[in-house]
Amino acid sequence: MNMEDLKPTELAGGRKGLRAMVGVSLLPGERRSAEPSGGPCLDFLASTGTVDRFQEIIEPEGWKLDSYRQNPVFQNAHRYGDVLFTLGKALVTEVRDIGEGRKGLFQRIEFATECNPVAKVAYGLYQGGFLNAVSVGFIPLRWEEGSDKTSFRRRYLEQELLEVSAVAIPANSEALALGLAEGAITRSAVQEAIDVFEATLARKQSGSELIWNFARELRATMRK
């Protein structure tokens, strides 16, 4: 079997691979300080070896992390055309024991809240529990197909991690609205993000259509 059989998509840098949306768990003591000059951090258990909603398993011990660690950015929805889509960086990415003989992919993400208002919104939504997933982009290196006798359709045994993205920010207007209502994010933070989007549009930078859509979603949420 080869990569073409897995219907690969384009990942960071134009490389071909797969994306998988995975639920994340914020670990106890999730709000942490980075270095004195850094931003706030959240600890995620980003992936375990359980069967996902696509009936696939990604074996934690199979993660190859060297490529990702060379540029460990945390993006918004796999977008790379503008610095606005960089929400932060991974300070730690490693496979850890999570108890009962199980392992998981652990990440400590530092959010760029001081220089990117979208990151400030994302941080509030994750910390408040209104967003609960990330999406990993990876290249399968070795895998096996399931059968009628297994609980999975496919199990990835070795895979190279290329990218990690927050998902549904700010396109998930429901999460935004709930976050505003519960105080996880402030109206001033959302307005700041709108201002930056509109300033970017005024300069006609690349990716303006996508930025316009994000700005429109934010404005619609503010009117609710």
> How many Å apart are CA 193 and CA 115, to the nearest integer?
11
Is 18 within 8 Å of 155 (Cβ atoms)? no
What are the backbone dihedrals phi and psi of residue 133, each rounded to the nearest 5 degrees, phi first?
-150, 155
Please report how many Cα atoms fall inside a 13 Å half-sphere around the Cα of residue 111, on the Cβ side.
24
pLDDT in tens, 102-151: 999 999 999 999 989 889 989 998 988 888 888 888 999 999 999 999 99
pLDDT in tens, 4-63: 667 778 777 677 888 887 777 776 554 454 454 578 999 988 888 888 878 899 999 999
Alpha-carbon torsion angle 42, 44, 46, 47, nearest 10: 170
CA 118 to chain centre: 13
What are the backbone dihedrals phi and psi of residue 112, each rounded to the nearest 5 degrees, phi first?
-85, 60
Q: Angle at CA 120, nearest 5°, toward 117 and 121? A: 95
User: Residue 169: its pLDDT value, please?
Assistant: 64
Mean pLDDT of 182-195: 87
Going from the C-alpha of 89 to that of each of 109, 110, 178, 190, the distances in angstroms are 6, 5, 26, 21
pLDDT in tens, 50-101: 888 788 999 999 999 999 999 999 998 888 777 788 999 999 999 999 888 8
Model confidence band, residue 156 (pLDDT cutoffs 50, 70, 90): very high
Model confidence band, residue 198 (pLDDT cutoffs 50, 70, 90): confident
